[in-house]
Amino acid sequence: MATEDIKNPEVKEEVKKEEPQPSKKELKKEAKKIEELEKKLAESLKKAEESEKKAEAAEARCKDAKDDYLRLMAEFETFRRRSAEDRLNLVGSASADTIKGLLPVLDDFERAMAMLAESSDEAAKEGTNLIYNKLMAYLKSKGLSVIEAKGEKFDVDFHEAVTQFPAPDESQKGMVIDVVQTGYLLNGKVLRYAKVVVGA
């Protein structure tokens, strides 16, 4: 057939009429195929929906596991820090008890040095002074320090008043006039209050 004939509307109709029409059997086959494809599509969609639900559940479990992990890590860190603090406190309190037990020895040294100050025995003075200084240097290296009291304003945080004494002048009222027993700090905390006489 020539191309001019196809362009002609009458010929076109003839060509259309000549196209074979599908049979009922073929139509049924096609319908069945479409039905099967629709079923497969529905199954695939259902599977995809189930997979999505499973993925969401897995994500939720993963998030819960991560939260549990972070909580456990935080609890462990707190436990580790507390354990370290407890160990330090234990060591600190043990050393505090040991040093507190040595304070009467320091008091005896101070009394001995006060008595030797009036003595003419230079060797005894030097020997006592040397031992006292060595002991004090060691205790200072462990955090011990003397509470300065004489001439200071009375402070209940560091001083313990054993008695009041009439102040010689107004400027000494409320001030520490004399120290009966030396007070000490250990790492900034009061180990023993200074026993003092306060001007009234």
Helix (H, G, I), strand (E, B) or coil at 75: helix
Distance CA 146, CA 99 (A): 13
Least Cα distance to 166 among 127, 199, 141, 140 occurs for 199
Checking if the pLDDT of 2 tops 80, the result is no
Q: What whole-number percentage of the chain has pLDDT above 70?
A: 88
Instruction: List the Cα angle 13/16/22 in 5-degree steps.
Output: 155
Phi and psi at 179, nearest 5°, equal -110, 120
* pLDDT greater than 50 at residue 31: yes
d(C-alpha 103, C-alpha 85), whole Å? 26
- Looking at residue 61, what is its pLDDT? 92
The matching CATH number, chosen from 3.40.605.10, 3.40.190.80, 2.30.22.10, 3.30.420.40, for 143-200 is: 2.30.22.10
Question: CA–CA separation, 6 vs 11, rounded Å?
Answer: 6
Tokens of 142: 């462990």
> Per the structure block, which two tokens stand in for 78?
């707190």
User: Mean pLDDT across the stretch 126-154?
Assistant: 89
Strands 176-181 and 194-199: antiparallel
Average pLDDT (67-81) is 91
φ, ψ (nearest 5 deg) of residue 126: -60, -45
Amino acid at 98: T
Length of the chain: 200
Instruction: With a cut of 70, say whether residue 72 has pLDDT above it.
Output: yes
Rg (alpha carbons) of the chain, rounded to whole number: 50
Query: Reading across the β-sheet that carries 144-147, which strands appear in turn?
Result: 144-147, 183-186, 189-192
Distance (Å, whole) CA 124 – CA 101:
25
Q: What is the mean pLDDT of residues 55-74?
A: 91
Contact yes or no for 105/144 (Cβ under 8 A)? no
CB of 106 closer than 8 Å to CB of 181: no
pLDDT of residue 66: 92
Higher-pLDDT residue of 189, 13: 189
pLDDT band at 4 (very low <50, low <70, confident <90, very high): low
Tell me the pTM: 0.53
pLDDT(1) > 80: no
Residue in 177, 200, 180, 181 with CA at minimum distance from that of residue 191? 181
The yes-or-no verdict on residue 14 having pLDDT over 60 is no
Mean pLDDT for the chain?
A: 83
